[in-house]
Structure 1
Amino acid sequence: SPTMFDLLPLLIAYLAICTALLTLYFLSDTKLLRNSPLKTYLIRSYKSTVRLCPIAIRRTIAELVTVLLYRRNTAFQCLLVGLLGLGYFIMLRDAIPILYHWDYHSNHVFLPLLLLFTCLCFYACTCLSDPGEITERTLYKYQPVYGHDGQLFRDDSCCRTCGFVRPARSRHCDTCDVCIHRYDHHCVWTNCCIGGLNLRYFLGFLVSLCCVCLTHPGWLSNRWVTLSPLIACGKPSA
């Protein structure tokens, strides 16, 4: 069966394709690509593909996008946890046994599991904690936090949905249908709003997730380089 190291070329190809697509996306409105033949070709290809697609399929895709991106659901939460679990499963199945075969005295699972536990703790806190929902009962707590500057935040700015004057730096989330204190954005990956009360957990989750994604390749590479002499000799550590 293929090991993690056998799948390395596929991983590199995947990262290269994703990097190229992201580069095209972020540079699409710059002078470099605004009127370029590449952008024209991509737009024409997209429009041609849409025309060839049956109306029923287009409607289904549009409804699916609406449900996934503009309504509260747990699809992206399951996807994120599934991707983390799959990555750790592959590492524990393919990489860790190799490390223990050549160096069974060291602890090869402490750092990966510590990072995973930290990441999941921050993620759970972000998903389950109150982002700062403003209701008639909690309005009095958020009104005096920030003063209205009369420009961006006016003292006569009323939320038509909630029916009260919005505190400064708050905003109504259409997805959650509630005003949020110090509203940042609605995150589909956490299935909740990111506001003043859970922003610290969200930032902790992002930092720990980056550590998971960046530390593991470097950590595995370091272990592999360290054990290379033993592997070359064909003798596990004593």
Structure 2
Amino acid sequence: MAWQYLIYPFKVMGISQTYDGSYSHRKYSTGNKKDYPIDEAGADTGRDYMYAPADVVVKKIYGRGDSGKPNTIWLQTRKKVITPIGIFYVTGRVTHMSDADIANLKVGDVFRAKEKMFREGTDGGATGNHIHMTWGTGKFKGSGWSANSNGAYVLTTTGSNRKPEKLFFVDSGFTRIRDSRGLKFEKKPEPKTRYVHTPGSRLNVRKSYSVKSEVVGKLADKLKVTVYARRNGWSLIGVKKWVASRYLKKTR
């Protein structure tokens, strides 16, 4: 199956506040429940476009035409996508686009990977042009958000909210990093063919990238596999399928 990689959705990464930011984000990342928003300001103080990080569908539109409510869009990947921590559906909530930029947008609209979507803005009282965005694994759930113990409205999905560097790869041919605010994103890899090398035994396939994770299968010696990503000495070979990288070789 041809999986898409989830890529960082701006041509220039210029993060102005992380999920630990004391200006306005800690109420999200320290409450119960949590999410992990970042503010993306792009190349400068202008209005850069946000691009689709994979094929995504619009699940909800909030605030359009109401000056008292910040324009907010919920996006969900159309299929499961490859992230640095596995293969999942991914859902995000993005805020501050202008009414003009989303005037014709409808629930159900689809953006293809790397397609322009809308620009940074200040709708809702933001102090400068940016996109506030937060993401999680799983599909859109309920109203798309709920108040946490700090009174901040955090993303709700059928999975779990995740830090952006755990979900997005940086495609170096698409995104230039101007300012990551210390967040460490992995470069987008390419799928690689490898062969199991466990003479006389079979290789455990685990649900996650840990020796403590549940064994979900076993692979025969010399079996051909496709490695989609690597993490902490483990190789991702399918949905909830990780194997220890040291047992994979380039040739039989």
- Aligning the two structures, in what range does the TM-score lie when normalised by the shorter sequence? under 0.3
Identify, as 1 or 2, the structure richer in strand.
2
TM-score by length of 2: 0.23
TM-score by length of 1: 0.24
